[in-house]
Amino acid sequence: MFKSVLIANRGEIALRIQRACRRLGLRTIVVHSEPDREALYVRHADQALCIGPAATAQSYLNQKAILFAAEVSGAEAVHPGYGFLSENAGFAEQVEAAGLTFIGPTAASMRVMGDKIAAKRAMRAAGVPCVPGPDAALTEDLDAVRAAAREIGYPVILKAAGGGGGRGMRVVESEGGLRDALLLTREEARRAFGNSEIYVEKFLGRPRHVEIQVIADTHGDAVWLGSRDCSLQRRHQKVIEEAPAPLIGDARVREIGERCAEACRQIGYRGVGTFEFLVEDDAFYFIEMNTRLQVEHPVTEMTTGIDLVEAQIRVAQGGRLPFRQDDIACHGHAFECRINAEDPDNFVPSPGVIDTWQMPGGPGVRIDSHASAGYRVSSYYDSLLGKLIVHGATRDVALARLQVALDEARIEGIATNLPLHRRLVADPEFIRGGVSIHHLETKLRRSG
Ligand code: ADP
């Protein structure tokens, strides 16, 4: 059972992971880039090692430097957080080859889920409902592709098997556009992902993004921990998340959740994971699985009372899940606002020094952030400054707490998206709940 963890990440999630490790009495080793040397989690680390300059290729994505840091520090486990190397199967393999524990699933699970066609095939086999369309790569035979698209019914969407970050997708409205779209998407996929395999599925017009959190241990047990709605997105980036997903029947969520947990058992999944679905007219369609901790994990923690990072570490240590499905219930409602250092109108990143940092408090309010007054926001990394998370006995109570909390929050010196959040939580459609993934962008276009 490991007693030390190297945190291979930065920012709010490095701090979040470190807090869990410290509570569990584990030694924390932090690797950081040059500009991150003053970070809160670096100061609290039992050992901190600078692994390179600001550029991520030379620091947080530098596998050799991270493995070397693990070796010299005597770390026994590596937590990859989210982003960076967290879904890199080759890195997980190297960590384990060095005799350390990778806090995450096996490299094999990561490879299956990293290939969207393989993931869809595995999920369909496990009884998880998927978007209509074949779970096989399209061949060069145009007639066969036409037949597949016709069977699905237009509009369809072409997607790269190796795609990610919302790239490598193209909507096709009718058969006339199919040939050119095919050539373009294949070429883009080859260039961007080094994998020209593409597949076709039904294009859903106004879906919601609903996901199911799971956790599995290494003894064959898996549970699901409720739903989250992350439909409020801009350019595929989530802005506000909530748990549970509103206006979907409990029985429906339970049925999907149980299938996700069963899929984990069938594929021998271990650790935390998220099944992402598009939901239209109450029907769930699997799109992909994320094989890591997610940014929005706190809303699930608030509604289940489970510390997901602690549980994740315990199962990585070989422990059994500390709860059974029957022990898990959803209490109340939670929201999370991602606070970004960016212009609230044009979304241009806003690096610089924070000179005022006043965060709200009170019942049901939680801040996960590494930032503070005097903190310098670097232009090298993503703009996430922290997360404002609120919980309440009902969705209305949580929403009221969120509105007050956002009103209290003050960040000066750099631009942030706090004004956007304040507008969003006053939006009648968001207040009603259940908006589609296009809601935010439509609203932004309208307000021009
Ligand atoms: P990525 O790995 O790039 O995030 P996903 O498969 O998760 O790719 O899809 C990203 C986004 O693209 C979804 O959240 C949704 O907005 C849109 N999308 C993907 N598949 C479909 C589909 N079949 N119909 C409608 N929109 C889709």
Over the stretch 389-419, which tens digit does the pLDDT of each residue have? 999 999 999 999 999 999 999 999 999 999 9
Q: Which numbered atom of ligand 1 lies nearest the CA of 167?
A: 3
pLDDT band at 299 (very low <50, low <70, confident <90, very high): very high
Tokens for 411, please give them. 């960040």
* pLDDT in the model for residue 164: 86
Residue 144: what residue type?
Answer: A
- Mean pLDDT of all residues in 240-250: 97
CA 289–ligand 1 middle distance (angstroms) = 12
* pLDDT in the model for residue 165: 82
Q: Check if the beta carbon of residue 286 is closer than 8 Å to that of residue 277.
A: yes
Find out whether the beta carbon of 166 lies less than 6 Å from any atom of ligand 1. yes
**Average pLDDT of the chain, as a whole number:** 97
Find out whether the beta carbon of 201 lies less than 6 Å from any atom of ligand 1. yes
Over the stretch 165-204, which tens digit does the pLDDT of each residue have? 888 899 999 999 999 999 999 999 999 999 999 999 999 9
Q: Which helix (H) or strand (E) holds 182?
A: helix 178-193
- Mean pLDDT of all residues in 6-12: 98
Over the stretch 123-171, which tens digit does the pLDDT of each residue have? 999 999 999 999 999 999 999 999 999 999 999 999 999 998 888 899 9
For helices 308-316 and 297-304, what crossing angle results, to 10°?
A: 100
* pLDDT in the model for residue 123: 96
Please give the positions annotated as active site. Answer: 292
CA 166–ligand 1 middle distance (angstroms) = 6
Find out whether the beta carbon of 316 lies less than 6 Å from any atom of ligand 1. no
pTM exceeding 0.95: yes
- pLDDT at residue 448 greater than cutoff 80: no
* pLDDT in the model for residue 373: 98
ipTM score of the complex? 0.97
- Give the phi and the psi of residue 226 in degrees, each rounded to 5: 100, 180
- Mean pLDDT of all residues in 12-25: 98
Q: Which numbered atom of ligand 1 lies nearest the CA of 437?
A: 16
CA 18–ligand 1 middle distance (angstroms) = 32
